[in-house]
Structure 1
């Protein structure tokens, strides 16, 4: 009987010792954590330039489908990425500016797509400081491809009473922007071809033209002279490599 009691006491002692060791370990672990004040962080807040342009949009397609342009407020540029299929000659713009900042010219003025001179906008903040932004218009248009009208013979001629069919790829299907010219060896435009059938028959791969549509306005082209066809389709041009001569 005494043996059992001694055994029980031994087990109880062992459990007490284990519990004491665990509590001691916890105390030691807690002692290793100390509350240290963190380093002081200083934030530098820079005021945004009041002369900046927040956004610049092309609203010809409508405000909901507006074309958002890329504004670089460091280099002071506005880059407009314009899909060629819109065939715009002038753009309507909408600009977002910081409070009390103005812009000139006014956004009610149309922005020309094919301006020969750089187009700029000037912003003016409430404190009188200004910034000048230059507009860059990038027209997204595929390469224009045209097939030769001439068969390559040295005496290839075209009668001015006949129509001319130009085959190729990536024509914009509008005679307002897809035009055919007769040019000389220096690339000078000598005659503009007239649209055929009031322009109802033009596709993305062909266009029909005639030399004239009015007997009082006949071509001023010279016989026995080499000419070339040059097509313009919106912003792109392509001149055929093979020349032709005309007959009346």
Structure 2
């Protein structure tokens, strides 16, 4: 009888201990997962500069195909990425500005692609403050590659009054912007070759020019080089040729 009482007491003791441990564990868990309120986030809103340029685009290809340019209102630059195959000499533009802001020169004025001096725009806000933006035109044109007419052991010769066909890669297919010159060892242009046909058949990998006249002013038995200028780039053959 005493044994049963002791066993029952022991069972009650361990049951109470386990229950106490469970309560303690729950309390600890609640403390570990207590939500902490984050610090408040303050959003700072600043006024936009009224002198800024909202957008700048080249409209020569047409409004639907307009070339949008990169406007940096911090550095005050406008970068125009112009594909070489358009062959533009001047650009037509459309410029978006904040209300009551003006720009000079006007957006209707043409921009020269190959200007010798930087092209700039001046914006003026309603309060009279101004900003000056510089236009940077980046022509996307692959490097011109020329196939040599001569070899290391054989110098190419051509008769005055004849024609020369130059092969290579990445010529802009227009006689208006792709030209060939004869240059001397110092790189001085001695003669500009004439287009061989009406200019409609030029391809991007070959071009044919003729001397146009027998009297070229070039000397026989003298080394000359071929120089190709194609829109924004130029390339000169490494090996010379000769007139006979």
TM-score (norm 1): 0.79
Following superposition, the deviation at residue 154 of structure 1 comes to: 6.5
Q: Who is 2:110 aligned against?
A: 110
Pairing 1:192–2:189 present:
no
- Structure 1 residues 79-90: aligned runs within 5 Å: 79-90=79-90
Alignment: residue pair count: 212
Of the three residues 237, 240, 243, the one matched with 2:240 is 243
Instruction: List runs of 5+ in structure 2 lacking aligned partners.
Output: 1-29
Secondary structure at 1:85's aligned position in 2? helix
Q: Is the 8 A contact 2:81 2:138 kept in 1?
A: yes
Q: Is the 8 A contact 1:84 1:140 kept in 2?
A: yes
Secondary structure at 2:198's aligned position in 1? helix
Q: Is the 8 A contact 1:201 1:208 kept in 2?
A: no
Change (3 A) 1:40 1:199: closer
Secondary structure at 1:198's aligned position in 2? coil
Q: Is the 8 A contact 2:174 2:202 kept in 1?
A: yes
Change (3 A) 1:44 1:52: same
Instruction: List runs of 5+ in structure 1 lacking aligned partners.
Output: 1-28
Following superposition, the deviation at residue 66 of structure 1 comes to: 0.5
CA RMSD of aligned residues (A): 2.3
Whole-Å separation in 2 of the counterparts to 1:38 and 1:206: 69
Pairing 1:222–2:219 present:
yes
Following superposition, the deviation at residue 201 of structure 1 comes to: 2.6
Whole-Å separation in 1 of the counterparts to 2:162 and 2:132: 53
More displaced stretch, 65-74 vs 238-247: 238-247
Secondary structure at 2:85's aligned position in 1? helix
Pairing 1:127–2:112 present:
no
TM-score (norm 2): 0.80
